[in-house]
Amino acid sequence: MILENIKKENDIKKVPLEDMEQLAQEIREFLLEHVSKTGGHLASNLGVVELTMALHYVFCLPEDKLIWDVGHQSYTHKILTGRKEGFDGLRTLGGMSGFPKRCESPCDAFDTGHSSTSISAGVGYVRARDLKQENYHVVSIIGDGALTGGMAYEALNNASVLKKNFIVVLNDNEMSISENVGGISSYLSNLRTAEGYQEFKTGVKNSLSKIPGIGPATIKRLHKTKDSIKRLVIPGMFFEDMGITYLGPVNGHDCSKLIQTFQEAKKISGPVLVHVKTEKGRGYEPAMRHPARFHGTAAFDLENGLPLSSGGKANYTDIFSTVMRKFGDRDERVVAVTAAMPDGTGLKRFRNMFPERFFDVGIAEEHAVTFAAGLALGGMIPVVAIYSSFLQRAVDQMIEDVCLQNLHVIFAVDRAGLVGSDGETHQGCFDLTYLSMIPNMTVMAPKNKWELSDMMKFAVNYDGPIAIRYPRGEAYDGLEEYRAPVLKGRSEMIYEGNSIALLPIGSMVKTACQVYEMLKAEGETPTLVNARFVKPLDEKMLDRLAKEHSLLVTMEENVQKGGFGSAVIDYMHRHHPQVRVLNIALPDRFIEHGNPEKLKEKAGIDAVSVYKKIKEAK
Ligand SMILES: Cc1ncc(C[n+]2csc(CCOP(=O)(O)OP(=O)(O)O)c2C)c(N)n1
Ligand SMILES: CC(=O)[C@@H](O)[C@H](O)COP(=O)(O)O
Ligand SMILES: [Mg+2]
């Protein structure tokens, strides 16, 4: 076992080149054995084993900086930097993160989770290095999917003026989570077929130098001339024209070739892009056949690739998916927009039924929102389905392009609240805050699966910007009999009592039902109101509750600041200062990875914690 001898960073440099293939095999077996038990981002990691090994072979860690875009493909990097043991507790509370974390290792140069940031961070490192006259290498590793994100181009534009070495590795597996989309993806596909042209590029130079009368100056001129033959025959012109040297494409599963190319890239002054071709899911048949399914997977049976636990109850995404198909069928103006998440948002089924009304814009949340504004002005009813944490990217577009013009755009905000094992970067903690602060925006959250459906109907028939936020995972199927019509800014009375009023929003209604039972068991007669709307607030209901209650308990899976509770406390303070308000919300800190139920306990928003806080407040 070669892997046994890899205990810390740079140990790989001692492995003879002829043993690299064997090491790659052992790493794949290690990944499969562990991720099949814990779950995690499997397919991308299987694809970058040799690429990561070659980078670790050529560069010196932690002095040199490897910056992983998104970071979901950093497992081999973790293995090679002394973190094999961490895989037993991968993505569990207190265990190792699934993404690079500077607090985990000095070899993690930049914390990531959201896409298309690696080149920007890399350029920053390079500028700092050069200003301080230091001497290390900076390598940003970005996938073809991440290269559909606008930030990557802003960074490349900026990188093109660098005078000293900066390496961008483009890990091209022709896949985002699903099939990659758009013009850059087609461009890369053409480049992929150009293997061997790198040698040809050098060959052209060498041949020209042999022609009598053509000296180095002429070759240099030809190399710089935009209309020269290189435009016709040399791949990577898009990058080269920006002043970025293009190397590749290189077979990403050939360690020797990769090592040779990175050694060459190290010597080049200025920015270099190394185009590496890899295969997502490499080495595991089910993942190669279904790379999207194994992009992020729960625990599965290694023998056949099938999930270990059966589907269980429908989740909110399933409900949204079904509702979208229904509304797509009913109204031809309904169109769907996703930023590279057709599977995760449940829009795949809409795409299959209405391909011409489905738009995957790539990992481009900002564009998705402004694009939706254009669709709305053109007479469509766009439904933009984006995860809560990814929609953070497009706050400006929601303000400037949608809400300022008061356009009918529906935001389906999935993964709102604690998502669990992805951790800090992916928790949906802020959407109630950033959505409700925007003028003209209406913000709703359903208590259960039927209410998501009713709210979608309300949103389609509404006119103006409107957001529905719902959590990851199983949809609550309690309180089926409570299905009062959804009316703008109106909450729903569930149980009417006195003294203590529970006022939960969305996913917290289920928790509030448990708290209600605990209080009732003690002889209390609390009130339970399903808030439904964060904006506009149901002020009439607050006025009504103020009459019979001395304590109002707001409950939300969002940070307190600027969220539902803060809106209620603000109103009550101004109009009913005699009523005490207890805000149950997520704390003002980033919430780590782990099982969502355990995270809720730790954050003090589970039923028992809420009950205790009420007892203290009474
Ligand atoms: C801003 C943002 N939007 C969406 C995502 C979800 N996401 C994670 S990985 C990924 C696909 C990345 O594709 P690529 O960079 O090619 O890497 P691969 O998975 O193919 O290795 C997407 C869409 C994200 N992490 N960040
Ligand atoms: C790395 C990344 O951003 C995605 O793969 C994310 O982990 C998907 O999350 P879900 O599993 O909730 O769809
Ligand atoms: Mg990819």
End-to-end CA distance of the chain: 63
| For range 549-566, the mean pLDDT | 98
Percent of the chain with pLDDT over 70: 93
CB of residue 472 inside a 6 A radius of ligand 2: yes
Classify residue 229 as exposed, middle or buried by CB count within 10 Å of its CB (0-12, 13-18, 19+).
exposed
Indicate whether 76 pLDDT > 90.
Answer: yes
Ligand nearest the Cα of residue 362 is: 1
101 and 33 assigned to the same domain = yes
Residues 502 and 590 in one domain: yes
Asked if residue 134 and residue 123 are part of one domain, the reply reads: yes
CA–CA dist 587, 413 (Å, integer)? 21
CA distance linking residue 325 with residue 352, whole number of Å:
10
Ligand 2 atom index nearest CA of 114: 3
Residue in 158, 152, 162 with CA at minimum distance from that of residue 182? 152
Q: Which ligand is nearest to the CA of 340?
A: 1
| pLDDT over 80 (residue 277) | yes
pLDDT exceeds 80 at position 598:
yes
Question: What ligand has the least distance to the C-alpha of 297?
Answer: 2
Q: Is the CB of 321 under 6 A from ligand 1?
A: no
Q: Using one digit for the tens of pLDDT, what is the confidence trace for 10-31?
A: 999 999 999 999 999 999 999 9
For residue 236, what pLDDT is reported?
83
Predicted pLDDT at 209:
59
CB distance 44 to ligand 1 below 6 Å: yes
CA-proximal residue: ligand 2, atom 4 (nearest): 296
Mean pLDDT of 345-361: 98
Residues 260-271 have a mean pLDDT of 96
Residue 67 Cα to ligand 1 midpoint, Å, equals 15
**Ligand 2 contact, 145 CB (< 6 A):** no
Using H for helix, E for strand and C for coil, what is the string for 401-436?
HHHCCCCCCEEEEECCECCCCCCCCCCECCHHHHHH
- The alpha carbon of 422 and the centre of ligand 3 are apart by a number of angstroms equal to 19
Q: Look at residue 400 and tell me whether its pLDDT is greater than 60.
A: yes
State yes or no: 275 annotated in a binding site.
no
pTM: 0.94
CATH number at residue 609: 3.40.50.920
pLDDT at 462 > cutoff 70: yes
In which domain, by residue range, is 248 found? 3-194+235-289
Do 530 and 595 lie in one domain? The reply is: yes
User: Checking phi first, is residue 121 left (phi over 0); if not, alpha (psi -120 to 50) or beta?
Assistant: alpha
What is the structure's pLDDT at 192?
A: 76
- Known catalytic residue: 280? yes
One-letter amino acid for residue 399 of the chain: I
Please identify, by atom number, the ligand 1 atom nearest to the C-alpha of residue 41. 19
State whether 40 and 161 are in the same domain.
yes
Average pLDDT over residues 204-229: 56
pLDDT band at 212 (very low <50, low <70, confident <90, very high): low
Annotated binding residue at 426?
no
Q: What is the pLDDT of residue 21?
A: 98
167 and 20, same structural domain? yes
The CATH number assigned to the domain holding 320 equals 3.40.50.970
Is 265 in the same domain as 405? no
The ligand 1 atom nearest the CA atom of 390: 1
For residue 72, say whether it is annotated as part of any ligand binding site: yes
Q: Are residues 95 and 153 in the same domain?
A: yes
* Ligand 1 pocket residue status of 73, Cβ below 6 Å: yes
How far, in Å, is the centroid of ligand 2 from the Cα of 26? 26
Average pLDDT over residues 577-586: 98
Residue 301 lies in a domain: no
> In this structure, which residue's CA is closest to atom 22 in ligand 1?
177
Distance 587 CA to ligand 2 centre (A): 23
Q: Is residue 295 part of a domain?
A: no
Q: What's the ipTM?
A: 0.99
